[in-house]
A and B are shown apart, each in its own frame.
Chain A
Amino acid sequence: MTTTQVSTSDLIYSWLERHVDRAGLNWLEEKRSQIARGAAVKVFFTAFSATPRYTGKNSLQLTLSDLQAAAIARKGWFPMNWSVDRAARILLVLALPQDDESQYLQTLEQVFTAADIGELVALYQALPLLSYPKQLKARAAEGVRSNMTDVFNAVALQNPYPAEYFDNLAWNQMILKALFVGSPLHLIQGLDRRANPELAKMLVDYASERQAANRSVSPELWELVKKSKVKS
């Protein structure tokens, strides 16, 4: 865990160096080290919120080799659509001391509970990089229930966490909601691996409901039904 943490943080920092000016980087470094040394949570909370003021909000513009490095540092990690501010926020989260599990989880819960849309997207995108990932299942499922499409997509799309940690109930609900809100299924990781007969039945039911109402059905649905049936 520790070695992974170091390399994911180092990678993110190296990407930020291309976009953030010296003053912004100095600010980020100062906050990271204060947080890592166990500064009062207020330091973490205010820095986490204020990050875009120091970093801007451009796209990270990762190259193919950046993405390859990411996948090596953490299997399935694919930060394709990350922005600079979100990456910097995640760096601050990764700086939190992690020895005391309940303290760590409590701080995470506080920041999740108070998060605005941009912060929620950063936090949910960070799921595969966080410590004690099993303890975050309920939180991740909460993100799937969000009415804000960006927040839902941060959990569901290009994120290895759901396939690794969701049970079938949570997984199937996520797939169904992705169809419902029009998010592309092919960006969901582990789609084939997690296909299951209950899902096939839910998808067929959903499709007939749509057809009865004269609404279109995504071709991605039928592909997934096929896969889910083959597995049963």
Chain B
Amino acid sequence: MAEQNAAPTNSTARITVRKTYKLYIGGAFPRSESGRSYAVTAADGSFLANAALASRKDARDAVVAARGAFAKWAGATAYNRGQVLYRVAEVLEGRRAQFVDEVGAAEGLDARAAGLVVDAAIDRWVWYAGWSDKIAQVLGGTNPVAGPYFDFSLPEPCGVVAVVAPQQSSLLGLVSVVAPAVVGGCTVVVLASEERPLPAVTLSEVLATSDVPGGVVNVLTGRTAEVAPWLAAHMDVNGLDLAGAAPADVQGLEVAAADNLKRVRRPDPREDWAAEPGLDRLRAFLETKTVWHPVGI
């Protein structure tokens, strides 16, 4: 990023092509319909880029896109979902250098530290990708009911999940909240870290080029306090991960989410994004379906 913003030092120096950061909705990269953008600065306060400032309409469009993608994504075979998600990790790895720059600038890390964060994010994505065809075996099962019935339970995605991404951890935190939702078959509208949104936009470029169907992950950038309430109150959103919500806003968002009894995952202030995540986040947006059938001849 530093290079992109460096001023030309002499008349023969090349003028850098500055990147325009946009939203990612339904597999396309629109600007905010509101036409608004906001300045994103590095950890040291220097200007990095302008990012789109998502509006209520953008949030609603993203939910429509996520809903539209849900049936196909949830209905894909687990093997297929795992392949698609692993492909994301491959493309992430290929763009490693860019992420190291962006994460370093956003989080104020030197190249080595940023590299470790990016590696962890890629590994996290791989870890979750591998869960796609194992979740049902670990979280499902047959139930030994007292009667002549075959009865089994299996996990199913709850639908569209709105995610307020972690504010500090711009890539590892983001991956840690998006991957567990999509690997289970949910589709996602994620609101990127407000101050550190650029790695999220770059991640959406990765998603767009890695076989993930449009609409499965939708990325909004903008003001968390402005957009999160629209997502929390949206009646076609089924789950809400409040990982990056400000403590003062959590209660209001949970109250809004109660209108259609969204599955809410509350933020954990002690969350350590570098730690092994366990199954909690995977389980948070899965329903359990139990099917009964008589046994006899």
Q: Do A and B come from one complex?
A: no
**B-to-A contact residues, CB < 8 Å:** none
**A-to-B contact residues, CB < 8 Å:** none
